[in-house]
Amino acid sequence: MADLQKFRAHESLNTDTAADWSVTSGVTDAASSSGSALSVDVSEYTTLGLYAAGEIYIRFTKTSTATITQADDLKLAAGLSFIKIPSALGNTIYFNYQSTTTTAHDLRIVKM
């Protein structure tokens, strides 16, 4: 009987589905000397596809303005990354990003 049951109920629900998507084009991140991070509303999506030309700091917030701090925020390497968006439980959620240096980088964002 154990051979017939390959997956349990909670394992079979661990699926990813095709989603609507939106491309945010012409984005450049804020240089680290500019203070506040730039923000994108990602409330209606579950995943971000990101291509950063340089390293960036990221964070998710419930307000459109955020200040990135090197000690607290995640550093994302240059290149292609896919990130799951945390649940906002009915609230608006923003993806905030900023360059790790004083040079701004090109950033391509696909919201899925």
Q: Model pTM greater than 0.85?
A: no
Q: Going by DSSP bridges, is the β-strand pair 106-111/22-28 parallel, antiparallel, or unpaired? A: antiparallel
Which DSSP symbol is given to 102?
S
Cα–Cα distance list, 31 to 11, 17, 51, 75, 90 (Å): 43, 35, 17, 14, 31
Q: Are the C-beta atoms of 93 and 60 separated by less than 8 Å? A: yes
pLDDT band for position 79 (cuts 50, 70, 90): very high
| All domains of the chain in start order, with CATH | 17-111 (2.60.120)
Query: Residue 78 in 3-state DSSP?
Result: coil
Per-residue pLDDT tens over the stretch 11-57: 555 555 556 777 776 677 666 665 567 888 888 888 888 988 888 88
DSSP-derived 3-state class of residue 11: helix
